[in-house]
Structure 1
């Protein structure tokens, strides 16, 4: 299966630490490399990365990483990386075959989250989102999080940064089908900006957006200096297998 990693944005809150958000190091390893390695651990055999800001720099790094890690990495450059993240999904999905693991470049996961997510393919779903019911998780920034409301069967009914009430937080990992890019495109045609959440809400309205509870597994969104400092401390312990693999290259 392919993985699609969104790595096009500017990442202004991390700009003092690195000129490129995907290349921001955590314990000496760029975020984008951590993401690629975690996708590989989960069973992904090819990675598509959507680039934008500092694309030349990121793509040069990906070419080297592909050789070191022994996996095909396909860069897809977004001409206007200031657009909402759904545009990155649409661009990258054109290079994915069938269903794909969708990840954000600034998110880190214990590998079993992604491995479990790959097993969530169900005909009644157009997308499955990894969710954390620990809405008071101290590693989550409540001002930046995307929140999720679900029905009794775990189907998403509402998703967004400003919804209330909510049941869980979006972890930034999805098992996507080709329906997701279509839903984003249809949302844009209806006048929406084209965020990933716009497409997710459209699938939710059709009863096609499912969830997978990560339970007590560890994950982080490394989006600002506070989160980066926590990641420096916690990631090597929670992602020991990933960092060990990197050290063997």
Structure 2
């Protein structure tokens, strides 16, 4: 299994702390290193990181990380990192395919997780789905920023009916971790061809409309989107206890 980590964006909400979100340290360890190590611990044999803003710096760091960790890391640079994140998913999936892979864990560079989430998610595949999304049913989770969250509405079987930042009603929050088949980048490309902007959620909604978007409930496990100074302070306080094996 492969992993793809999206690390191309500008990271405007963390600019007061760092000019590169993927290289922003949490207790001395850059977010992108935490992501790579989390993916590897969950069973990913190879990690593709999609770069864009500050790409040269991030790619230099990744080359050093690959050497000292022994984890195979590929960098895939997008030409226009201002475009929606679905374009990064398409680019990352194409690199996975070029390297001989197929299904992959998909993560955002600014999300960190307790080990059980990715470990379970990596084993959630099946022929009845094109993607599986980790969801948190705690819609009032104090670690979640409601103004920035991506919300999810599910059906009686736990399949996604709707996903997006402005949907209502909703019954879960998107945790930012996915187990993907090639159906997801294909769905994003289809959405773009039909006139959508090209976000990851555009592709997810297209798969949901086909009944191909499943979920995995995290059952109270810890996760955090480190997207602004408040979340970064929470990560500094909580991550070492939650990610002890990674901090080693």
Distance in 2 (alpha carbons) for counterparts of 1:206 and 1:222: 32
Kindly report the root-mean-square deviation, in angstroms, between the aligned alpha carbons of the 2 structures. 0.5
1:95 is displaced (CA, Å) by 1.4
Q: Would you say 1:118 and 2:112 are equivalent positions?
A: no
1:111 is displaced (CA, Å) by 1.1
1:40 is displaced (CA, Å) by 1.0
TM-superposition CA deviations, 1:133-187 (whole Å, max 9, x none): 0000000000000000000000000000000000100000000000000000000
Equivalent in the alignment of 2:3: 3
1:19 is displaced (CA, Å) by 1.2
In the superposition, the TM-score normalised over structure 1's length comes to: 0.97
Equivalent in the alignment of 1:99: 103
Of 175, 188, 191, the match for 1:184: 188
1:68 is displaced (CA, Å) by 1.1
TM-superposition CA deviations, 1:73-101 (whole Å, max 9, x none): 00000000000000000001001111000
Q: Unaligned regions of 5+ residues in structure 2, if any?
A: none
* Residues 1-249 of structure 1: pairs in structure 2 closer than 5 A: 1-96=1-96, 97-244=101-248
| Total equivalences in the alignment | 244
Q: Unaligned regions of 5+ residues in structure 1, if any?
A: 245-249
Distance in 2 (alpha carbons) for counterparts of 1:136 and 1:16: 27
In the superposition, the TM-score normalised over structure 2's length comes to: 0.98
